[in-house]
Structure 1
Amino acid sequence: MLFISRANKDVIRKKGVFGPPDLIVEIVSPSTQYRDVYEKKDLYARFQVKEYWIVNPYTRRIEVLSLNEQGIYILFSEGYMDEGGNRTIQSKVLKDFTLHLGDVFKEDFEGE
């Protein structure tokens, strides 16, 4: 999933998106976990995507990575759904936006 701000809307054209989105959300899959977390992170940094979220439904964790001035992602916010875990995340790109992980993940998995 991706987000393009109004300020960056010029990258959207009839034949596609021609420029980096402001934010990309990647949902990790067991079969492509290495690619989702490492290879795509390098690719998105190269294309200067300002913010990259890694959503892991298996660990019930979300990491928000923000691209710094050197073109390297740094951890801006993270949350996870376990005992004592931080259950909210914030975005640097989406000002004043807070996401409660309970809105993304069930409080308890079936059978736990």
Structure 2
Amino acid sequence: MEAGALLFLLISSVFVQSSRAVDFYGHSATFLPTQRNADGTLPLSLISRENGRASCASQVTYSCSGDQCGTFNKGVAVETTKDGTGNNRWCQTEQEITTELTAEAKSVSLRQITFSQVCD
């Protein structure tokens, strides 16, 4: 399968999200284009943006259905913007997340899991 077609399947995958606290407002992910390695594996890289309140710590993790993905490696979450009033109303972080799809991967379903943190 062409890398472009596989990326299309990844981008059009349905994300499952659950949130149990008002400290997490939302999330978006941008997939970065990659090329298949000589051994057939496909590196997957995405930029994750989260909007939350208080600690502004990363609250989203990813998993892959089946065994078609490697371990998800999360880069350092960098705070890109925040509420300027000092009242901790909101903040946004970005981080790069990478994994590698197996050569046998034909279609992959990514699952986004949101863990809430209790913040005062």
TM-score class, shorter-chain normalisation, is: under 0.3
Q: Larger relative contact order (C-alpha < 8 A, sep ≥ 6)?
A: 2
Which structure features the higher share of strand residues?
2
TM-score normalised to structure 2 length: 0.26
